[in-house]
């Protein structure tokens, strides 16, 4: 759709003149295709073309025959989808999967898999009832499912889950009708961090030399949109990436957000525009630091403003001065407001549930700029949608090298160990340190000693990184959040007790780190340590919530921030808090990661505006 109201003339179907047969159906009130805007048939609708090294094919039967032959033979294909190009191959063929991995430079994330039908899903995965419902919904998201039986090893990259989905385009059905294959890798067609390709010429130029086939069709993709990703925890669907099928369905709020533009965060960006009491969240945009992604961001923003006829009057952004989304708001020339990152996380969840009262917000994530200039990410905030008070937080620990620490979890492990053992950590005989160049270790220790480029961080995400590295699971991060994901996926079943932490005004984990070192030295299995660490995090949340209730009488707890993508943490924190009689609120409609933050930003701005507190100040 390029304009509203929704009429064929204002869609990408406009260039396709209906044939007499389709037109008569379109105009017949009694026909089920009456006024159906995308009506078309094989004669008058979009046409497919398949490019192979031998030439091009236009006949659909010939295309299906050639394409299934290529895929069955272990070849790779770029396939034009609804919101962009995708790369496909047989998900059971290790060599084919490796070809796709090589094609997507530096990409080491697990790949999504398109299954032919529910039987095929069940052949490889073990979906629960709500998961089966989620995967079969018309929105056709990628659903993270537990999987014992592996496809090719390069699909899941050692994780015990598969991102599974069912066909969502007529072409997918036609393809599976013609092949014995029942599981295809279907991953976004882009090179490393760039946005998914939507332009036909660019796709042909990029993929023709790299793939065995490129399948395209002559209908333009107006809106770039990735597949959505969800998981099911405690019987409810949790969005990890909100895109195709979910966007642009508005989120209804109890406040007037008209004319407000929330510019989101940086790494996992989504923005939000306000119309009346409706918040329109954008599709997943990605990492704004990439130039192509930033262009996608500004184009999508223009499109949303145009499509929903928004008159921008206020901008709201994060406080981080280096975020491109902050710079975007600053340059707009409109009145501009900045809100604290974790307050926005908590309020985004409050917005979903229409909460206006004081809550205890537990915001656990990687990094976000705090009011004191430090990096926050392990925060207990007593919040309402207008303001907050920092009730407690995890202790500050230096992040050696800033962003370099995010990419190298071993640096965070050294930072935590240094607090206890000083420069003597190299004598601890920890196996994970043997994998790191000693000169690099020396350098990081010197950085910490001298306080050079070591911003203080209270980040729980970085603590997960540190523990994952100490356990030898991930010392360098191949993709965003790999270290915490590896840590979660190795959790062993069993009845263990949490580690000890000191909970005062802040949370001090030194004792836990000592106990982990002791366990490592005693060759305790990583899965057991991972479980005890997760249990510890749950008990910190439990303790803090009880403390906040005793001191302030608050009985509502809101869980937000990217760390709650961790299924164990999410499930057990909710469960434990409910056991204590707390009312617990978690995300349903937007992701708990930074992709949901714009919803919090827009509501904070709206409440401030309504209360007359507006004045270009900050969110507290
Ligand atoms: Fe965040």
What is the C-alpha separation between 76 and 99, in angstroms, rounded? 7
What's the 359 CA to ligand 1 centre distance in angstroms? 19
What's the 71 CA to ligand 1 centre distance in angstroms? 40
What's the 295 CA to ligand 1 centre distance in angstroms? 22
Helices (H), 8-162: 20-27, 60-72, 94-103, 118-124, 129-136, 153-156
What's the 277 CA to ligand 1 centre distance in angstroms? 25
What is the C-alpha separation between 90 and 111, in angstroms, rounded? 12
Chain segment 527-553, per-residue pLDDT in tens = 999 999 999 999 999 999 999 999 999
Scan for tokens 């924190």, then name that residue.
573
What is the C-alpha separation between 604 and 194, in angstroms, rounded? 31
As a whole number, the mean pLDDT across the chain is 95
What is the C-alpha separation between 273 and 297, in angstroms, rounded? 13
H/E run at residue 517: helix 510-521
Q: How far is CA 9 from CA 81, 225, 283, 472, 554, in A?
A: 22, 21, 24, 58, 54
What's the 343 CA to ligand 1 centre distance in angstroms? 10
Residue 565 pLDDT: 97
Residue 191 pLDDT: 79
Q: What is the DSSP string of 532-584?
A: HHHHHHHHHHHHHHHHHHHHH---EEEEESGGGGSHHHHHHHHHHHHHTT-EE
* Nearest to 110, CA basis, from 154, 166, 78, 76: 154
Residue 382 is encoded by which pair of tokens? 């007593």
Other residues' Cβ atoms within 10 Å of the Cβ of residue 531: 21
The answer to whether residue 617 scores a pLDDT higher than 60 is: no
The answer to whether residue 267 scores a pLDDT higher than 70 is: yes
Please compute the mean of the pLDDT values over residues 181-207 and round it to a whole number.
93
Other residues' Cβ atoms within 10 Å of the Cβ of residue 318: 26
Three state DSSP letters for 302-346: HHHHHHCCCCCCEEEEECCCCCHHHHHHHHCCCEEEEECHHHHHH
Residue 447 pLDDT: 96
- Rounded to the nearest angstrom, the gap between the alpha carbon of residue 82 and the centroid of all alpha carbons in its chain is 20
Residue 106 pLDDT: 64
What's the 99 CA to ligand 1 centre distance in angstroms? 34
What is the C-alpha separation between 246 and 256, in angstroms, rounded? 22
What is the C-alpha separation between 584 and 570, in angstroms, rounded? 11
Chain segment 524-534, per-residue pLDDT in tens = 999 999 999 99
Residue 149 pLDDT: 79
What's the 447 CA to ligand 1 centre distance in angstroms? 26
Please compute the mean of the pLDDT values over residues 569-578 and round it to a whole number.
97
Please compute the mean of the pLDDT values over residues 138-164 and round it to a whole number.
93
What's the 242 CA to ligand 1 centre distance in angstroms? 16
Chain segment 120-131, per-residue pLDDT in tens = 999 999 999 999
H/E run at residue 144: strand 142-146
What's the 146 CA to ligand 1 centre distance in angstroms? 26
What is the C-alpha separation between 342 and 361, in angstroms, rounded? 9
What's the 265 CA to ligand 1 centre distance in angstroms? 8
Percent of the chain at pLDDT above 70? Answer: 98
What's the 205 CA to ligand 1 centre distance in angstroms? 36
Bond prior to 248 in cis (omega within 30° of 0) = yes
The answer to whether 507 touches 501, Cβ cutoff 8 Å, is yes
What is the C-alpha separation between 448 and 491, in angstroms, rounded? 31
H/E run at residue 262: strand 260-262
What's the 344 CA to ligand 1 centre distance in angstroms? 9
Strand partners, 557: 360, 584
What's the 341 CA to ligand 1 centre distance in angstroms? 6
Residue 515 CB contacts under 8 Å (≥ 6 apart), including other chains: 499, 500
Residue 192 is encoded by which pair of tokens? 């490393």
What's the 471 CA to ligand 1 centre distance in angstroms? 25
What's the 562 CA to ligand 1 centre distance in angstroms? 6
Residue 614 pLDDT: 60
- Rounded to the nearest angstrom, the gap between the alpha carbon of residue 62 and the centroid of all alpha carbons in its chain is 38
Burial code (b: 16+ CB inside 10 Å, e: under 16) for 183-218 equals: bbbbbbbbeebbbbbbebeebbebbeebbbbbbbbe
Other residues' Cβ atoms within 10 Å of the Cβ of residue 500: 13
Please report, in angstroms and rounded to a whole number, the separation of the first and last CA atoms in the chain.
40
Residue 480 is encoded by which pair of tokens? 């965003």
Half-sphere exposure of 291 (CA within 13 A, CB side): 0
Residue 618 pLDDT: 45
What's the 595 CA to ligand 1 centre distance in angstroms? 8
What's the 268 CA to ligand 1 centre distance in angstroms? 9
What's the 561 CA to ligand 1 centre distance in angstroms? 5
Residue 619 pLDDT: 39
What's the 191 CA to ligand 1 centre distance in angstroms? 25
Please compute the mean of the pLDDT values over residues 576-589 and round it to a whole number.
97
What's the 232 CA to ligand 1 centre distance in angstroms? 21
What's the 37 CA to ligand 1 centre distance in angstroms? 40
What's the 597 CA to ligand 1 centre distance in angstroms? 7
The answer to whether 349 touches 362, Cβ cutoff 8 Å, is no
Residues in the chain: 620
What's the 369 CA to ligand 1 centre distance in angstroms? 9
> How many helices (H) does the chain have, and how many strands (E)?
21, 26
What's the 325 CA to ligand 1 centre distance in angstroms? 14
The phi, psi pair for 70, rounded to 5°, reads -65, -45
pLDDT band of residue 615 (cuts 50, 70, 90) is low
The answer to whether residue 78 scores a pLDDT higher than 50 is: yes
What's the 267 CA to ligand 1 centre distance in angstroms? 9
The answer to whether 581 touches 555, Cβ cutoff 8 Å, is yes
What's the 594 CA to ligand 1 centre distance in angstroms? 5
* Nearest to 294, CA basis, from 284, 304, 282, 285: 285
Chain segment 290-327, per-residue pLDDT in tens = 999 999 999 999 999 999 999 999 999 999 999 999 99
The answer to whether residue 620 scores a pLDDT higher than 50 is: no
What's the 266 CA to ligand 1 centre distance in angstroms? 9
What is the C-alpha separation between 164 and 142, in angstroms, rounded? 5
What's the 288 CA to ligand 1 centre distance in angstroms? 15
Strand partners, 390: 381
What's the 280 CA to ligand 1 centre distance in angstroms? 20
The phi, psi pair for 366, rounded to 5°, reads -80, -75
Chain segment 228-266, per-residue pLDDT in tens = 999 999 999 999 999 999 999 999 999 999 999 999 999
What's the 544 CA to ligand 1 centre distance in angstroms? 20
What's the 592 CA to ligand 1 centre distance in angstroms? 8
Would you state the torsion angle of the CA atoms of residues 575, 580, 585, 587, taken in this order, to the nearest 10 degrees?
Answer: -20
pLDDT band of residue 495 (cuts 50, 70, 90) is confident
H/E run at residue 275: strand 272-275
The answer to whether residue 501 scores a pLDDT higher than 50 is: yes
Residue 347 is encoded by which pair of tokens? 């309020």
What's the 563 CA to ligand 1 centre distance in angstroms? 9
Please compute the mean of the pLDDT values over residues 585-589 and round it to a whole number.
96
Beta strand segments in 370-412, E: 375-383, 388-394, 397-398
């Amino acid at each position: 759709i390029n304009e509203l109201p929704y009429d064929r003339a204002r869609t990408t179907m406009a260039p396709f003149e209906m044939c007499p047969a389709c037109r008569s159906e379109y105009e017949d009130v009694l026909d089920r295709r009456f006024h159906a805007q995308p009506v078309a048939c094989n004669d008058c609708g979009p046409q497919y073309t398949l490019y192979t090294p031998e030439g091009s094919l236009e006949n659909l039967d010939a295309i299906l025959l050639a394409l299934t032959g290529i895929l069955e033979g272990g070849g790779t294909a770029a396939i034009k989808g609804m919101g962009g190009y995708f790369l496909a191959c047989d998900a059971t063929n290790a060599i084919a999967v490796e070809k796709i991995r090589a094609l997507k430079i530096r990409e080491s994330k697990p790949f999504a898999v398109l299954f032919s039908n529910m039987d095929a899903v069940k052949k490889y995965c073990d979906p629960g009832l709500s998961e089966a419902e989620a995967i079969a919904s018309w929105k056709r998201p990628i659903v993270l499912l537990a999987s014992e039986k592996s496809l090719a090893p390069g699909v899941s990259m050692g994780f015990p889950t598969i991102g599974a989905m069912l066909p969502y385009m007529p072409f997918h059905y036609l393809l599976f009708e013609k092949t014995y294959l029942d599981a295809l890798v279907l991953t976004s067609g882009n090179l490393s961090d760039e946005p998914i390709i939507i332009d036909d010429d660019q796709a042909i130029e990029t993929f023709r030399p790299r793939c065995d086939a490129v399948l395209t069709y002559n209908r333009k993709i107006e809106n770039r949109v990735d597949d959505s990703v969800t998981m099911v925890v405690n019987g409810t669907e949790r969005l990890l990436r909100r895109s195709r099928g979910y966007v642009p369905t508005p989120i209804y709020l109890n406040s007037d957000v008209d004319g407000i533009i929330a510019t989101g965060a940086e790494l996992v960006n989504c923005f939000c525009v306000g119309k009346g009491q409706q918040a329109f969240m954008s599709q997943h945009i990605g990492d704004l630091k990439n130039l192509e992604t930033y262009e996608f961001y500004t184009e999508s923003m223009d499109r949303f403003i145009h499509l929903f006829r928004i008159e921008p009057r206020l901008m709201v952004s994060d406080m981080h001065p280096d975020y491109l989304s902050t710079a975007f708001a600053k340059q707009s020339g409109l009145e501009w407001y900045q809100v604290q990152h974790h307050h926005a996380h908590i309020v985004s969840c409050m917005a979903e549930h229409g909460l206006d009262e004081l809550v205890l917000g537990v915001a656990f994530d990687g990094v976000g700029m705090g009011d004191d200039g430090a990096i926050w990410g392990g925060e207990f905030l007593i919040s309402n949608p207008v303001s907050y008070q920092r009730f407690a937080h995890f202790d500050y620990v230096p992040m050696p090298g800033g962003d370099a620490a995010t990419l190298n979890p071993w640096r965070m492990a050294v930072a935590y160990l240094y607090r206890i053992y000083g420069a003597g950590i190299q004598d601890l005989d920890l196996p994970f340190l043997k994998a790191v160049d000693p000169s690099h270790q020396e350098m990081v220790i010197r950085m910490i000693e001298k306080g050079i480029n070591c911003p203080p961080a209270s980040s729980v995400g970085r603590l997960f990184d540190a523990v994952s590295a100490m356990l030898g699971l991930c010392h360098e991060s191949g993709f965003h959040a790999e270290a915490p994901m590896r840590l979660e996926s190795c959790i062993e079943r069993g009845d263990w007790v949490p580690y000890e932490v000191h909970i005062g005004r802040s949370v001090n984990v030194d004792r836990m780190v000592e106990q982990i070192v002791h366990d490592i030295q005693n060759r305790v299995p990583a899965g057991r340590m991972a479980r005890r660490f997760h249990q510890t995090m749950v008990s910190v949340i439990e303790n803090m919530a009880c403390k906040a209730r005793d001191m302030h009488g608050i009985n509502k707890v809101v869980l937000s921030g990217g760390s709650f993508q961790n299924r164990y943490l999410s499930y057990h924190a909710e469960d434990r808090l409910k056991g204590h009689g707390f009312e617990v609120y978690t995300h349903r409609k937007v992701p708990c990661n930074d992709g949901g933050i714009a919803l919090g930003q827009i509501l904070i701005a709206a409440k401030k505006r309504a209360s007359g507190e507006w004045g270009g100040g900050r969110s507290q």
